[in-house]
Amino acid sequence: MSAPGGSRTGPPAPDHRDLHRSGVVARLRAPARVVAVVGGAGFGKSTAVAQAVAAEAGTGRGTVRYACQRADARPQHLVSGLVDAVGAAEPVDVPAALDLVLDRVARLGPDGGTLVLDDVHHLTGDGSGPLRHLVRDAPEPVRLVLVSRRPIPGLARLRAHGLVVDVTEEELRLTPEEQAELAEDHGVAADVVAPYGGWPALAVHACRTRDPGATAALARRALAPELRRSLAEVLAGGAVAPGSVEAAQSHLIPWRALVEAVPLTEVRSDGTCAFHPLWGTVLADELTPAEAQAARRRVARRHLAAGELERVVALTPSSDGEALAQAARKGCEAALERPSPTTPASWLALLPDDATSGPEASLLRGLAAVAEAPWSDGTVQLLDRARGAFHQRGDEEGEVMALAATIAPERGRGDAAALRGIGRRLGELAGVGGARTIALQGLARAAAAEAEGDVEAALAALDAVVGGTLSPGWRAERDLRRARALLLLGRGADAVPAPGQGPRPAAGGVGARAVRAAALWAACRPAEALEELPDLAALGGLAPGERVEAACWAATVLARAGRVEEAIAAVALAEGADTDGLGPRGREDLAGARAIVAVAARDERSAASTLAPLVGRDGSWLPGSRPHLAPVLVLVPEARSTVDQVVSGPDHHAALRAARALLVARAGDWSADEDLPSPGEVVGGLPLRWAVELASVVEGAGDRRARPLVAALARVHGARLLAALDDVADVDEEAVAGLRQATTPSSSDRAVVGVLGPTTLTVAGVPSETPAWRRRAVRALACLLVVRGTVSRDQAVGALWPDTDQARADGNLRAAVSQLASALEPDRRPGAPSSRLQADHRGLALVGSAAEGHDVQVFDRLVGEGDRARVAGVASEALAHYEAALVLWRGTPYSDLDDPAAVLERARLTARFVSASRRAAEVLLAAGQEERAIERLEAAVAVEPWSEGAHRDLATAHLAAGDHEAARGAIDTGVALLDEHGVEPSAATLRVRARIEAAARS
């Protein structure tokens, strides 16, 4: 094992006093081309390497070690040292010398050799060149162990191919068990070691000296002076986010460099930095109080720019009035940008008493009132008081902010005069905020028109607002108001992108999603509407002003979808807000939502009485009636003669046709000549119960157009359609039976992708043999959609053609999508949309019957049912489920796809197959069926040869069958595979081996 050379070159000798690091040693001995050991000073890297070298004694591998120095940054110096370490004459040429070193290492033993390079962090600049050469050109018998205090460059490619084992600082830390053992060996209590985070050198020092001050001084000396100061400033500022870590420092060390240089520090999964509490103790006296306050002030400025008022106040002393006023102002801006029911009040509570008398604090009080009672006189008075305070101070920017905050409450109150006054004042202040103030003026004018019921004027004012001049929050508010106006004008499709024209906008939060859902439903896109709809919990978290409108739109969509209980709950959320002071437009929204929910709940009398006031005695329709045109037309007869006054957009025309068709159906005069709207118009224009009623009448009249209509309803409503059909079955049982038949998919409607082995496709019960399916790219795309669900086109290209140029990859994807659609639906007409493959702005996905019944879904379901039966103690039922699942396994899952998601899923499924096989064998053995149990376990070890448990169970099954030799062969095979990885067999495996040996002797 030893090699020529002095202390820099000989393999480190393990000290019998050192704690044996068995876990780390096993990692160091892993069969890999490169083992990279990275950790700070004192983390026992050299000790662990010495123990690993000692563990390899007599294994047929030799080892040579070289400890790098700063001088080795010069390539020639490094090469001379390496050549000397292997006992060779030094060639003149550096590459030749390195090749000679690798050749000598490869010949150190019959199985090759290991080259240990210690302290490779010294190989900077030109010195990294020889290191890259060694990593790149090391032959297979050579294993490199690279030990460094900093990350080692040049390993990315090997790491991507699984040829590098990384032993990190986290792994080098002493485990709790090792700390306890160390304390016991030194005769000290465990709490002597505990404060040092598993840092080996500190833990040993603490045990030997029993002097916490001396151990803290040792930790302090581990950091360079400039590093100590930067870290102390970061800790003083309470900084954890990368930007704050850098902001805290008076002399910048980039955050990642700081984290890499400071032991016991890591980056959490959320991207923030975690510093061990030890450093707070060690560096407690590093800064003067003034220096610590300066660090906190720098971090506070960073939080202020991000609008994080809580952190600013926490870092700012109460005597710094100017900083606190800036924080309060930033809080006002953030509250206007991102309305919240609790944030203004909580931020106001953070401010010390000395900072609560200025205009900013007054505005925060007004915003807090908006969150509680948005339409009350008191709220408007608070906002007006804040505006007056800004005006008196001569702070025109503050006055603009206060005026902007007043728009939403006055719009909710329906006070058009006040809104016009706000618009005028904003116009006078246009010189302050420029285009932004002008845009806010436009929002005020639109709100005034909306309050007056002039929807067309409101839309015109909103369209005149240049969205680019507004912040994201105000731009989302403009878009929300515009979507509402379009809905009232029967132009819901204009409020959302057309299918295939890009994703729907994500801005605006829960309220905007509710409006977009209503627009999508009105545009006859119900599936997208239900996907967009926010849940009730999210609606309940809104401030009252936003909650009323959002809950009304949500209730409308839910009621049309037949989700009656949820719709009732949404209306209750709207009614639960304090509606004191709510203006006429808001009350119209609430009345419309109540009425549509009453229709869904089969209470048409209540719905009619609620809707009637929305239609004036002179035939005029209030704006709030427009989204509910069909219910008004059906339930309020006096409105029918004046309906043409409000029918303007395509949504209105579709709703009108659907309502008139229902009226004809209810009159009992249906014939095949009647004008039946398209299925999309019926779905979008009528609540589910009315749509089913219309379909049943059309079916009962022998009009076959009812079948496509009910099929469309089935795609949108699923099981709710069946419940709705039950409601009308007593009217025409035969017609409903026909409609039920139309909703039941036949075998010809099924397309099933199989991935538990070679990828298969079965269409209408027949395996696909189409030319398209024989293309590997098509099968790989199908696998990708099964394993990932919905993927974007960019994700698909990256997974299937990662090394192909963009233009060619895009072409490949288009061809694969087209061919997969053809394979899934071989009888589809050319140019017709696919009902089994989604390929639009939402991404690529299997849909309809193609999204259901994959063998992996059935496999998971059966194994889960088997597990539940096993826990319940029903062994026969568990075995039946396991056997049904295992028979689905045809080979390596996702065999046509190399995507990381497929690799992870393959590992999950393999583990589940092995688990199900072992549990099935357990039941079989208990029933005395050893041969079947052996078959199951042999299949398990064939699929996962590294499963210790499967080998152990197989040996147990052979032993139960009386075949001692086969049992010994099974257990020996499992132990040998473990030994290849340097892993000791478990106690359970050793017990089975002992049983086998005892049985063989008897």
Do 630 and 594 touch, CB atoms closer than 8 A? no
CB 362 within 8 A of CB 382: yes
pLDDT-derived band at 385 (thresholds 50, 70, 90) equals very high
**Per-residue burial over 550-581, b = 16 or more CB atoms within 10 Å of its CB, e = otherwise:** bbbbbbbbbbbbbbbebbbbbbebbeebebeb
**How large is the average pLDDT for residues 279-287?**
93
Q: Give the type of residue at 86.
A: V
16 pLDDT band, cuts 50/70/90, is very low
**CA 681, 717, 689: angle at the middle one, nearest 5?**
65
Q: Would you say the pTM of this structure is higher than 0.85?
A: no
Strand partners, 893: none
Distance, CA of 178 to CA of 186 (rounded, Å) = 12
Lowest mean pLDDT among 205-214, 396-405, 571-580: 571-580
- Give the pLDDT confidence score for residue 834 in this predicted structure: 78
Average pLDDT, integer, range 697-717: 79
Measured CA to CA, the distance from residue 862 to residue 857 in angstroms comes to 9
Distance from chain centroid for Cα 229: 37
Query: How much is the average pLDDT of 242-271?
Result: 90
User: What pLDDT, on the 0 to 100 scale, is given for residue 13?
Assistant: 54
Under 8 Å CB-to-CB from 334, ≥6 apart: which residues? 307, 309, 343
More confident residue, 219 or 744: 219
Q: How far apart are CA 38 and CA 153, in angstroms?
A: 11
Let me know the angle formed at the C-alpha of 174 by 169 and 177, rounded to the nearest 5 degrees: 145
Q: What is the CA radius of gyration of the chain?
A: 37
Tokens representing 54 are 């000692």
CA distance 959 to 1000: 10
CA 854 remoteness from chain centre: 24
By the 8 A CB rule, do 527 and 716 touch?
Answer: yes
- Residue 276: what are its φ and ψ, rounded to 5°? -65, 145
Q: Position 240: which residue type?
A: V
Classify 982 in phi/psi space as left (phi over 0), alpha (psi -120 to 50) or beta. left
pLDDT digits (tens, 9 = 90+) for 149-159: 888 988 888 88
Structure tokens that stand for 476 in this block: 């989302």
Distance of CA 7 to the CA centre of its chain: 52
Q: How confident is the model at residue 953 (pLDDT cuts 50, 70, 90)?
A: very high
Q: Are 297 and 315 in contact (CB under 8 A)?
A: yes
Quote the CA–CA distance of 633 and 626 in Å, as a whole number: 11
Q: Supply 901's token pair.
A: 């998601």
Average pLDDT score over residue span 795-799: 89
Residues 254 and 230: their CA atoms lie apart, in Å, by 10
**Amino acid identity, residue 260?**
E
Q: Is the pLDDT of residue 500 over 50?
A: no
Residue 146 three-state SS: strand
Q: From CA 525, how far away is CA 522, in angstroms rounded?
A: 7
Q: Are 407 and 419 in contact (CB under 8 A)?
A: yes
- Please name the amino acid found at residue 942: A
Round to whole Å and give the CA distance between 138 and 102: 6
Written as one string, the DSSP assignment of 244-265 is HHHHT-SS---HHHHHHHSSSE
User: Residue 691: which residues within 8 A CB-CB, separation 6 or more?
Assistant: 658, 682, 683, 709, 713
Q: What is the tens place of the pLDDT at every residue in 432-445? A: 777 888 989 999 99
Region 692-708 average pLDDT = 84
Which pLDDT value is given to residue 507?
A: 46
Tell me, what DSSP letter sits at residue 919? H
Q: What is the mean pLDDT of the chain?
A: 84
Which residues on adjacent β-strands are paired with residue 844? 791, 839
Q: What does the pLDDT read at residue 725? A: 80
Q: What percentage of residues in the chain have a pLDDT greater than 90?
A: 29
Residue 862 CA to chain centroid, in angstroms?
Answer: 28
Report residue 144: phi and psi, to 5°. -100, 130
- The pairing of strands 164-167 and 34-38 is parallel
* 3-class SS of residue 33: coil
Task: Using DSSP bridges, classify how beta strands 843-846 and 837-840 pair: parallel, antiparallel or unpaired.
Answer: antiparallel
How far is 842 from 838, CA to CA, in rounded Å? 8
First to last CA, the chain: 43
Tokens of 729: 């079955």
Q: Write the DSSP assignment of 793-812 as a string of letters.
A: HHHHHHHH-TTS-HHHHHHH
Task: State which H helix or E strand residue 888 sits in.
Answer: none
What is the pLDDT at residue 915?
A: 93
Other Cβ atoms closer than 10 A to 100 = 19
**Mean pLDDT in residue range 153-177:** 87
What does the DSSP assignment read for 583-618? Answer: -HHHHHHHHHHHHHHHHHTT-HHHHHHHHGGGB-TT
Contact 849, 751 (CB under 8 A): yes
Beta bridge partners of 760: 754
Q: How many helices (H) and strands (E) does the chain have?
A: 50, 12
**In the predicted model, what is the mean pLDDT of residues 937-945?**
91
Q: What is the pLDDT of residue 5?
A: 36
| Stretch among 203-207, 290-294, 372-376, 911-915 having the lowest mean pLDDT | 372-376
**How far apart are the C-alpha atoms of 815 and 668, rounded to whole Å?**
52
Which residues have C-beta within 8 Å of that of residue 940, sequence separation ≥ 6? Answer: 913, 914, 917, 918, 921, 947, 950, 953, 954
Q: What is the mean pLDDT of residues 363-373?
A: 84
Phi, psi of 164 (to 5 degrees): -125, 135
More confident residue, 34 or 878: 34
Residue 507 CB coordination number (10 Å): 12
Question: In 10 A of CB 822, how many CB atoms?
Answer: 18
> Whose CA is closest to 167, among 42, 11, 34?
34
Instruction: For residue 654, give both structure tokens.
Output: 């579709």
Which pLDDT band, with edges at 50, 70 and 90, does 467 fall under?
Answer: low
Is 338 a residue whose pLDDT tops 80?
no
> Which residues, other chains included, contact 316 with Cβ-Cβ below 8 Å and sequence gap of 6+?
296, 297, 300, 323, 324, 327
How remote is the C-alpha of 524 from its chain's centroid? Answer: 30
Q: How confident is the model at residue 671 (pLDDT cuts 50, 70, 90)?
A: confident
d(CA 206, CA 214): 8
For residues 68 and 41, the answer to whether their CB atoms sit within 8 Å is no
Q: List the structure tokens of 952.
A: 């152990």
With bands split at pLDDT 50, 70 and 90, how would you rate the model's confidence at 321? Answer: low
**C-beta of residue 569 within 8 angstroms of C-beta of residue 552:** no
AA letter at 314 = A
Residue 165 scores a pLDDT above 50? yes
CB 51 within 8 A of CB 12: no
Give the closest residue to 670 by CA, choosing from 640, 701, 704, 628.
701
Return d(Cα 577, Cα 366) in angstroms, integer. Answer: 18
Q: Rounded to 5 degrees, what angle do the CA atoms 251, 257, 258 make? A: 60
Alpha carbon of residue 710 to chain centroid: 36
Residue 505: the pLDDT is: 46
Residue whose structure tokens are 């960073």: 302
